[in-house]
């Protein structure tokens, strides 16, 4: 009769799954950051337009103010320069608006890219992981209780695959009813092994 007290493949699967989930989240975040940076490049023309238009507006305003000092005709000559400066400022505003739109778009696309992978983690993997932690914690506390081994053995009889049960004893249920210590210990260890715990 074999006592199943070694660490189960379930524990290894849990560790591998945790690592894969962490890698999945990391990859999703990196992809979202890459997409954000890629979309942000669309803002470069807007930045250039804003910078050039602001410089042009400042230059035209400066020229207009100098021409305004010319006696008699100065006021009349400043109007075209002031109008051109206002037009340049409007172009600078358009460049700023384009950058703002690109910022909003890059943020929305990045968050949209994160919704699916993080949703899987939060709504699929995390509840399963929490349920496993609770079950493993309850089984670990039962292991230390006086009648805990018997309860774990009973649970193993109810939930473990028949092929595993018959490896313990061909008539494992009868052995458990008789109170066979080896059978009870093997069944309890099998249940603990199924949760990735030591028997």
Per-residue model confidence as pLDDT tens digits over 41-64: 999 999 999 899 898 888 888 887
Cα 100 from Cα 90, distance rounded (Å): 15
Q: Do residues 193 and 160 touch, judged by C-beta distance below 8 A? A: no
User: Is pLDDT above 50 for 3?
Assistant: no
Q: How many percent of the chain have pLDDT more than 90? A: 34
Q: Do residues 54 and 92 touch, judged by C-beta distance below 8 A? A: yes
User: Is pLDDT above 90 for 4?
Assistant: no
User: Is pLDDT above 90 for 85?
Assistant: no
Cα distances (Å, whole numbers) of residue 160 to 30, 119, 166: 41, 32, 10
Mean pLDDT of 115-133: 91
Mean pLDDT of 95-100: 93
Residue 149 DSSP one-character state: H
User: Is pLDDT above 70 for 9?
Assistant: no
Confidence at residue 181, expressed as pLDDT on a 0 to 100 scale: 84
Token couple for 162: 């028949």
Of 29 and 68, the structure prediction assigns the larger pLDDT to 29
Of 189 and 32, the structure prediction assigns the larger pLDDT to 32
Query: Largest alpha-carbon pair distance within the chain?
Result: 121
Instruction: Find, among 150, 143, 117, the residue nearest to 23 by Cα.
Output: 117
Q: Quick one: pLDDT band at residue 1, thresholds 50, 70, 90? A: very low
Confidence at residue 38, expressed as pLDDT on a 0 to 100 scale: 95
Mean residue pLDDT across the chain: 85
Q: Do residues 159 and 127 touch, judged by C-beta distance below 8 A? A: no
By residue count, the chain amounts to 199
DSSP for 108-168?
HHHHHHHHHHHHHIIIIIHHHHHHHHHHHHHHHHHHHSTTHHHHHHHHHHHHS-HHHHHHH
User: Is pLDDT above 60 for 8?
Assistant: no
Residue 42 DSSP one-character state: G
User: Is pLDDT above 70 for 72?
Assistant: no
Cα 22 from Cα 112, distance rounded (Å): 19
Phi, psi (deg, nearest 5) at residue 8: -80, 160
């Amino acid at each position: 009769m074999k006592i199943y007290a070694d660490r189960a493949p379930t524990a290894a699967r849990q560790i591998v799954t945790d690592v894969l989930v962490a890698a999945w989240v990391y990859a999703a975040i990196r992809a979202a950051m890459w997409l954000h940076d890629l979309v942000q490049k669309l803002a470069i023309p807007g930045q250039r337009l804003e910078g050039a238009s602001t410089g042009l507006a400042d230059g035209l305003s400066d020229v207009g103010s100098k021409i305004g000092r010319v006696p008699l005709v100065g006021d009349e000559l400043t109007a075209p320069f002031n109008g051109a400066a206002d037009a340049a400022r409007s172009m600078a505003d358009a460049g700023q608006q384009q950058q703002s739109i690109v910022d909003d778009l890059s943020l929305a696309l990045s968050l949209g890219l994160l919704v699916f992978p993080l949703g899987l983690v939060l709504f699929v993997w995390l509840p399963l992981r929490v349920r496993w932690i609770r079950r493993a914690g309850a089984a670990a506390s039962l292991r230390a209780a006086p009648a805990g081994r018997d309860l774990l053995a009973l649970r193993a009889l109810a939930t473990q695959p028949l092929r595993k049960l018959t490896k313990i004893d061909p008539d494992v249920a009868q052995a458990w009813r008789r109170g066979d210590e080896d059978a009870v210990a093997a069944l309890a260890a099998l249940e603990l092994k199924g949760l990735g715990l030591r028997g």
